[in-house]
Amino acid sequence: MEMYFKRMKDEWTGLVEQADPLIRAKAAEIALAHAHYLSIEFYRIVRIDPHAEEFLSNEQVER
């Protein structure tokens, strides 16, 4: 599983680094402005995804 996470991290890092800096800045601005809503939506989806507990337990989500 550790190798899987490393591969996923490396893939995401590569994709982010390829993105235009202006797009990255705008995405960061949007994420910051809507952080509360985004976190609520993230955890709503995690709670109903049957595969999510492989990565994040219900106990971790409740914290």
Residue 42, in any domain of the structure: yes
Number of domains in the chain: 1
- Per-residue pLDDT reduced to its tens digit, 1-13: 788 889 999 999 9
Residue 11, in any domain of the structure: no
Residue 13, in any domain of the structure: no
- The residue segments making up the domain with residue 49 are 20-63
Residue 29, in any domain of the structure: yes
User: pTM value?
Assistant: 0.64
Spell out a b/e string for 17-56, using b for 16 or more CB atoms within 10 Å of the CB, else e. eeeeeeeeeeeeeeeeeeeeeeeeeeeeebeeeeeeeeee
- Per-residue pLDDT reduced to its tens digit, 6-61: 999 999 999 999 999 999 999 999 999 999 999 999 989 888 888 887 777 767 76
